[in-house]
């Protein structure tokens, strides 16, 4: 009875949202209030795949849904990254009938790694893809060990795991569960030393001895062996090889796949998505053909002209140093003279007090590569201190805390304008820069 009422209210509110084009998580949130064990009542005709991890879960799950649909499958998917309880509930109730039956071939759910244990309290996915695990919003989430504990609570014994063999942390998740691994061969961007400050696997997650790396893809993602217990990259069922980052071409289990977005992070997302689709029964060659047609949503990256200058906007996740490191790698890939504009709002859940995460970002990599860095936003001065400690000269650092006064400062800089900020702040920054 409660479930029927919850479905009725949820669907009605969802419909109203569609009419007023205000899609929110509200239908699911209301339904969960009315029926707290809502998730228990859904029945799935097809397989359910959960996609989680610190970075790349939105892009990866979007790729999975795209590949499946291109191969003629019907998919229920929370495409907009609504990955908390309300968002997942909204997705399921809008894709089911009143009885709670979800008639699709597949359900692809992006889920927040910390909320997964609540989302999967009353039902379980058949498969779970974990992209990677890093420190992320440290003051809110705690360190990686805490995230692992929470995630392991969500993983029931029946779940088959699809794991990144190049990540020593997530590769070691729930060791009793059935699993397959995917990996990416060394690329031209691989390095012998970690270029990043954020490195969450200097010691073995099993025995705490020192880890040795023969190469790094980025941060702690690479080829590793523990000097104590011998823990090393597990054998992969799916492997990306022959990566040509200039052309955006590579092989996945021997099938050619192409991308326009040529970063190692994106290649890992592709590897995860292709592996998941193969596990769901799509042939590797068909998955690769479909994925080669995939276009990333422009939400995280955009290009524009500001007067006669080229500008690129690269967005990072809030208080997520690895995400910021990826944005910096993107800046380094751009040719020619460039100026970097960094806006840090450091919003909400820490009452704007935490700036420690700025010290986990490898800004040092920019020091010899850019003419200047313009620091702006509420944390402009903290950012300037961070850069100064990172070896930037006073001439390289410009500070304008007030976003409204940024234009004249920018006009004195040269080269391509690279704007680095967080998802939440993008709109405000863009308005000032392009007006």
Q: Exactly one of 146, 207, 297, 305 binds Zn ion (CB under 5 A); which one?
A: 207
Among 15, 16, 229, 389, binds Zn ion (CB under 5 A): 229
Taking the C-alpha atoms of residue 421 and residue 318, their distance in angstroms, rounded to an integer, is 9
Q: Is 286 exposed, middle or buried (0-12, 13-18, 19+ CB in 10 A)?
A: middle
Is the Cβ of residue 42 or residue 224 nearer to Zn ion in the bound state? 224
Nearer to Zn ion, 44 or 231 (CB): 231
Q: Per rule CB under 5 A, is residue 201 in the interface with Zn ion?
A: no
Stretch binding Zn ion (CB under 5 A), from 7-15, 87-95, 155-163, 228-236: 228-236
Using rule CB under 5 A, residue 226 touches Zn ion = yes
Q: Which is nearer to Zn ion, 209 or 401 (CB)?
A: 209
Q: Least distance (Å) from Zn ion to the CB of residue 193?
A: 21
CA–chain centroid gap for 218, Å, is 14
d(CA 147, CA 297) in angstroms, rounded, equals 27
Q: Which stretch binds Zn ion (CB under 5 A): 189-197, 231-239, 278-286, 422-430?
A: 231-239
Instruction: Using the structure block, give the residue that is written with the tokens 């011998």.
Output: 230
Number of residues that bind Zn ion (CB under 5 A): 8
User: Per the structure block, which two tokens stand in for 297?
Assistant: 């949503």
The minimum distance between CB 232 and Zn ion, in angstroms, equals 9
As measured in angstroms, the least distance from the Cβ of 226 to Zn ion is 3
Task: For Zn ion, give the closer residue by CB, 121 or 209.
Answer: 209
User: What does the radius of gyration of the chain's CA atoms come to, in whole angstroms?
Assistant: 22
**CB of residue 220 to Zn ion, shortest distance in Å:** 14
The Cα–Cα gap between 90 and 340 comes to 39
Smaller CB separation from Zn ion, 159 or 204: 204
Residues counted in the chain: 435
Residues 6+ apart with CB under 8 A from 145: none
Nearest to 51 by CA among 91, 87, 83, 93: 83
Q: Which stretch binds Zn ion (CB under 5 A): 2-10, 125-133, 204-212, 362-370?
A: 204-212
Strands 255-258 and 338-343: unpaired
**CB nearer Zn ion, residue 204 or residue 240:** 204
Give the shortest CB-228-to-Zn ion separation in angstroms.
4
CB of 168 to Zn ion, least distance (A): 9
Q: Which stretch binds Zn ion (CB under 5 A): 58-66, 88-96, 157-165, 219-227?
A: 219-227
Q: Work out whether 206 is an interface residue with Zn ion (CB under 5 A).
A: yes
231 sits near Zn ion (criterion: CB under 5 A): yes
**Closer Cβ to Zn ion, 231 or 392, answer by number:** 231
- Closest to Zn ion by CB, 158 vs 212, is 212
Contact 415, 338 (CB under 8 A): yes
DSSP letter at 159 equals P
Q: For helices 284-291 and 57-70, what crossing angle results, to 10°? A: 110
Residue 250, burial from CB neighbour count under 10 angstroms (0-12, 13-18, 19+): buried
Q: How far is the CB of 209 from Zn ion (least distance, A)?
A: 5
Please identify which residue in 13, 102, 180, 204 interacts with Zn ion, judged by CB under 5 A: 204
Applying CB under 5 A, which part among 11-19, 24-32, 200-208, 410-418 lies near Zn ion?
200-208
109 bridge partner residues: 50
Residue 169 engages Zn ion in binding (rule: CB under 5 A): no
Establish if 228 lies at the interface with Zn ion (CB under 5 A). yes
* Beta-bridge partners for 48: 107
Contact 201, 224 (CB under 8 A): yes
* DSSP state at residue 58: H
Segment contacting Zn ion by CB under 5 A, of 209-217, 244-252, 331-339, 424-432: 209-217
Whole-angstrom Cα distance, residue 123 to residue 125? 7
Q: Answer yes or no whether residue 202 interacts with Zn ion by CB under 5 A.
A: no
Q: Closer to Zn ion by CB, 224 or 324: give it.
A: 224
292: helix, coil or strand? coil
For residues 57 and 110, is the Cβ–Cβ distance under 8 A? Answer: yes
Please give the structure tokens belonging to residue 323.
């995400």
* Structure letter (DSSP) for residue 421: E
Using CB under 5 A as the binding rule, whether residue 375 contacts Zn ion is answered as no
Q: Which is nearer to Zn ion, 228 or 307 (CB)?
A: 228
Closest CA to 156 of 131, 127, 180: 127
CB closer to Zn ion out of 231 and 268? 231
Residues binding Zn ion (CB under 5 A): 204, 206-207, 209, 226, 228-229, 231
């Amino acid at each position: 009875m409660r479930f029927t009422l919850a479905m009725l209210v949820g669907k009605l509110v969802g419909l109203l949202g569609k009419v007023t084009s205000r899609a929110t998580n509200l239908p699911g949130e209301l339904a969960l209030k009315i029926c707290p064990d809502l998730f228990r009542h859904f029945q799935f005709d097809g397989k359910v795949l959960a996609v989680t991890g610190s970075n790349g879960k939105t892009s990866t799950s979007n790729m999975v849904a795209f590949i499946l649909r291109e191969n003629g499958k019907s998919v229920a998917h929370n495409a907009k990254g609504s990955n908390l309880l309300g968002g997942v509930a909204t997705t399921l109730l809008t894709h089911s009938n009143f009885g709670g039956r979800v008639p699709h071939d597949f359900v692809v759910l992006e889920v927040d790694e910390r909320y997964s244990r609540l989302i999967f309290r009353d039902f379980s996915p058949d498969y779970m893809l974990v992209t990677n695990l890093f420190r992320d919003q440290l003051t809110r989430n705690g360190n990686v060990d805490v995230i692992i504990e929470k995630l392991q609570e969500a993983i029931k014994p029946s779940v088959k795991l699809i794991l990144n063999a190049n990540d020593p942390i997530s590769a070691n998740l729930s060791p009793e569960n059935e699993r397959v691994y995917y990996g990416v061969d060394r690329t031209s961007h691989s390095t012998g030393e970690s270029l990043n400050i954020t490195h969450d696997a200097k010691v073995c997650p099993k025995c705490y001895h020192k880890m040795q790396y023969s190469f790094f893809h980025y941060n702690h993602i690479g080829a590793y062996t523990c000097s104590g217990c011998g823990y090393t990259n597990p054998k992969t069922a799916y492997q990306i090889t022959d990566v040509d980052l200039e052309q955006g071409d590579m092989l996945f289990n021997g099938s050619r796949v192409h991308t326009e977005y040529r970063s190692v992070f994106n290649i890992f997302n592709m590897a995860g998505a292709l592996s998941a689709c193969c596990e769901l029964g799509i042939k590797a060659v068909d998955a690769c053909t479909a994925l080669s047609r995939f276009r990333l949503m422009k939400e995280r990256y955009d290009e524009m002209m500001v007067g006669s200058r080229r500008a690129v906007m690269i967005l990072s996740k809030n208080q997520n140093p690895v995400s910021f490191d990826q944005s910096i790698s993107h800046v380094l890939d751009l040719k020619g003279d460039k100026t970097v504009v960094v806006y840090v709002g450091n919003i909400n859940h820490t009452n704007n007090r935490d700036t420690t995460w700025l010290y986990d970002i490898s800004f040092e990599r920019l020091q010899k590569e850019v003419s200047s860095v313009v620091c702006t936003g509420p944390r402009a001065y903290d950012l300037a201190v961070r850069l100064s400690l990172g070896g930037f000269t006073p001439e390289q650092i410009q500070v304008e805390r007030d976003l409204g006064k940024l234009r004249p400062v920018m006009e004195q800089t040269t080269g391509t304008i690279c704007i680095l900020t967080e998802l939440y702040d993008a709109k405000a920054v863009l308005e000032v820069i392009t007006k």
